[in-house]
Structures are given as structure tokens and as C-alpha cells.
Amino acid sequence: MKFGIFYEHQLPKPWSEGLEEKLFQDALDQVELADKLGIDYAWEVEHHFLEEYSHSSAPEIFLAAASQRTKNIRLGHGIRQVIANYNHPARTAECIATLDLVSGGRVDFGTGESSAILELGGFDIPVESKRQQYLESVEQICNMLAMDPYPGFDGQYFSMPCRNIVPKPVQKPHPPLWVACSNRDTIKMAARLGIGALTFAFVDPLEAQHWVDEYYSIIKSDECVPIGHTVNANICMVTSFSLHHNRAVAIERGLEGFEFFGYALGFLYGFGIHKPGRTDIFREFQAARNAKLVESPVEVGESLTGERGGIGTPDDMREHLRKFERVGVDQVTFIQQAGMNKHEHICESLEIFAAEVMPEFKSRETEREARKAEELAPFIGAAMARKQYMKMPKDDDIPVFPALGRSVVEGDADLTKKAVG
């Protein structure tokens, strides 16, 4: 099993000068530490306008900075918003390839569309067409990364002329492809598209079993038709994270932050009413949490023995992860930076995890990976045979584009037409 750390860059109010800078610098220190400890992945989300919940609006910059402070850890867009109004597909292809080059081929390309009205409305993306826009963009981004030149595209939601998209990534034909999944329907979609499932739903191992079984049954079926130029058959689950040898300390340090993560997610995506620059989600969270504790006080003993996912002692974490391992989850990624969680506590938890929990799972990883690769090889081969590739133009069919100066000198009447072919 592989392990990752995940960043929303949460910053609950109240804010003061220098807090955002500290948040990002602390996160870079954490990624550097995780790399030294042997953690496999660092995932960074892309969100816009989601105050307090996520200040991660330019993940390619953060990941590029992290690439220069690390050697082995894979750097995942978890995810990049790929719809054209967020990021033009050609710009996404350029950013992914550039990050792959500066990191030495360590990029994983997670994709998404968002379901937050603040984001969709901010970029004028209709809710009813966002899935179709997502699918159109992902397929063309993969073509841009893999083809030389890219023949051009006249789609329903974006168009562009023939161009050679440069640079090209280290990983050929493109970095491993993932999609954000929040329910079983998107898990099934990921499998049908032949891409990894980044599951941002906090499910218990019993429910995870159903997700894993459905995902891999589709990967092995005729339903799997890759949207990219490779198949990335993997499921990643997220979990809470706070470790200490004293369970009570782990809970005190990590539980409230994780609860804020869930509350802010629900507020911005489900039940909240947001006034930009004025709503205080953390204050509302604290009021709701305090009211709940008054109505249903939790005994200390109950809080120490209840199911808390990845919050607890090393023994608690081992048992938690064994359950995911038994049902076939490929990677577990930790929500370690949430709410008011402190940098030093995050680092301490990572060090405890690497020293006392991770070795058991790493001892079984090589054999598990080899067994999985052998089992899936014929199914992946069959899936790739079903893919319909974009046709590469013959040399004589590649258009030519006179430079603007030449067109002006020659008196061309329609310079716009010359630019687009």
C-alpha cells in the first residue's frame, strides 16, 4: 500500500498578516519532511474563492516549489480543474508537462470539474454541462501531451487550431491520470475511463470494499475504454490523521481540525449561504460544534474508544489501515492539514507514522504490486485495444501559419484566419 499527504491549505478565520505565508511555508516543510520519511505522494488541490476551506488556487506553483525541495515523493494534482473556463486545455497540458520536467518525472495528473457554486459561477460554467465539458477537456489534454503536433480540435465547448504543444512531459505518453470521486457513480466513471480514482469521500472499510470491487470489475470488463493514452488502475482513499502515543493527545490535536474540514466542505458544497469576504465559517462551525456537545455530551471514555479513522495511537492507525489493505485499496492519503492543526503536531505525526506504522505495509508492497500488475495486464491490454485514438495528420495536411509581420507586409486581408488556419 502507498501513502500520501493532502493539501487544501485551510486557513480558518480570524486572519492576521503573515498567516497565509506561514501556511504555505509550513506546508513546503511538511512535504520535504514527508519525502525524507519515504511517504509516496503529496497531493495538492485546486480551488477558487473557497475562503477558509481552501486557499489553494495555484497548485502548479506550490508543487513546482515542492519539487525543488524533494527527491522521490510523487507530486500530484489532486486535482487540477480542467474545464476550459478554469484553465484552457493547452495551458493545462503545458503546466503538467513543465512540472513533470522540473520534478524529474514525478507528476500525477489528477483531474476534476468542481461542484461548488462559488467556483462554477465565478468562471461562468453551467452546472448542467460541467461533466460533458470535463470529459471533452481531459481527452484533448491527453492528446496534446502525447501528440506531435496536436491536430487541432473543434469541440462543443472549446476549439483550437493545429499546434505543437510544448514542452512534452518526461513520462510518456503522459503522467498517470486520476479523477476526483465523491460517490460510487464517479468511481464507476473512473473505471470506465481507465483512470485512477481519488476518492474524497470518507467511507469506512466495509463501504470501501464495494467501491473497490465495482471499480476493478469495470476495469476488467469491456466497459473500460481509456480516455487517456494509458490506463492507471488505482484507488486512493482519504482518511483523518493525527498520531501520538497517548490517544487522548492525538484526539485533542487532530479531531477538531478534521471536523472543521467536514463542516466547511458541507457548508460550501451543501447547506451554507456564503457572503464573499464576510462569512466566518470557523465561527459558525464552533457554534454548531458547541451546541452539539451541549445537546449530546460525549463521555471522555467514549471519545477515546470510538471509531476515529486515522486519529489515535500507532496501533490504532495500523488496525485502521489493515482494513483498507484487506479490501484492496491501493493508496491511503492523509488529511493532516485541516482546521487549526499545528505544523509541529503534523510533523510529529508524520515521523511517528514513518517509524512505527509504515514499515509493516511497505514490507508487503512489492509482492502486492507485482501480483496486481500480472493480474491486470491482459485486461489493460484489451482496454487499450478498444481506445479510439485521435488521427495524426500526414505531413502534407499540417497547415502552415505565416508570421504576423509577413502577413502584414504581404497585405493579407484576413489576419485572424491566418492565425487559426
> Secondary structure of the chain in the HEC alphabet?
CEEEEEECCCCCCCCCCCHHHHHHHHHHHHHHHHHHHCCCEEEECCCCCCCCCCCCCCHHHHHHHHHCCCCCCEEEEEEEECCCCCCCHHHHHHHHHHHHHHCCCCEEEEEECCCCHHHHHHCCCCHHHHHHHHHHHHHHHHHHHHCCCECCEECCCCEECCECCCCCCCCCCCCCEEEEECCHHHHHHHHHHCCEEEECCCCCHHHHHHHHHHHHHHHCCCCCCCCCCCCCCCEEEEEECEECCCHHHHHHHHHHHHHHHHHHHHHHHHHCCCCCCCCCHHHHHHHHHHHHHHHCCCCHHHHHHCCCCCEECHHHHHHHHHHHHHCCCCEEEEECCCCCCCHHHHHHHHHHHHHHCHHHHHHHHHHHHHHHHHHHHHHHHHHHHHCCCCCCCCHHHCCCCCCHHHHHHCCCCCHHHHHHC
Please state which of the ranges 122-131, 277-286, 294-303 shows the lowest mean pLDDT: 294-303
> What does residue 238 show for φ and ψ, rounded to 5 degrees?
-100, 155
Give yes or no for residue 421 having a pLDDT over 70: no
Reported as a pLDDT band with limits 50, 70 and 90, residue 300 is: very low
Give yes or no for residue 302 having a pLDDT over 50: no
| Residues 6 or more apart whose Cβ sits within 8 Å of residue 375 | none
pLDDT of residue 101: 98
- The C-alpha cell at 102 is 522540473
Cβ atoms 155, 136 nearer than 8 A: yes
Residue whose C-alpha cell is 513546503: 28
Fill in the amino acid letter for 382. A
Minimal CA–CA distance to 149: which of 394, 389, 388? 394
pLDDT of residue 48: 98
Residue whose C-alpha cell is 496501533: 315
pLDDT one-digit tens code per residue, 325-382:
999 999 999 999 999 999 999 999 999 999 999 999 999 999 999 999 999 999 999 9
Please state the rounded mean pLDDT for residues 221-235. Answer: 98
Query: Exposed/middle/buried for 297, CB within 10 Å: 0-12, 13-18, 19+?
Result: exposed
Q: What is the spatial distance between Cα 193 and Cα 231, in angstroms, rounded to a whole number?
A: 8
44 Cα distance to chain centroid: 6
- How many angstroms separate the most distant Cα atoms in the chain? 84
- The C-alpha cell at 413 is 486581408
- The C-alpha cell at 309 is 479513522
pLDDT of residue 406: 84
pLDDT one-digit tens code per residue, 82-113:
999 999 999 999 999 999 999 999 999 999 99
Residue percentage of the chain with pLDDT more than 90: 88
Reported as a pLDDT band with limits 50, 70 and 90, residue 307 is: low
The residue ranges of every structural domain in the chain are 2-386
pLDDT of residue 296: 67
Please state the rounded mean pLDDT for residues 160-174. Answer: 98
Cβ atoms 251, 303 nearer than 8 A: yes
pLDDT one-digit tens code per residue, 238-276:
999 999 999 999 999 999 999 999 999 999 999 999 999
Count CB-CB contacts under 10 A for residue 365. Answer: 14
pLDDT of residue 305: 40
Q: What is the spatial distance between Cα 121 and Cα 135, in angstroms, rounded to a whole number?
A: 19
pLDDT of residue 301: 39
Cβ atoms 219, 192 nearer than 8 A: no
Reported as a pLDDT band with limits 50, 70 and 90, residue 201 is: confident
Assign domain 2-386 to a CATH class. alpha beta
Exposure of 400 in the CB half-sphere (CA atoms within 13 A): 5
- The C-alpha cell at 332 is 491511503
Mean of the per-residue pLDDT values for the chain?
94
Please state the rounded mean pLDDT for residues 56-78. Answer: 98
Count CB-CB contacts under 10 A for residue 383. Answer: 25
Q: pTM above the 0.85 mark?
A: yes
Reported as a pLDDT band with limits 50, 70 and 90, residue 297 is: low
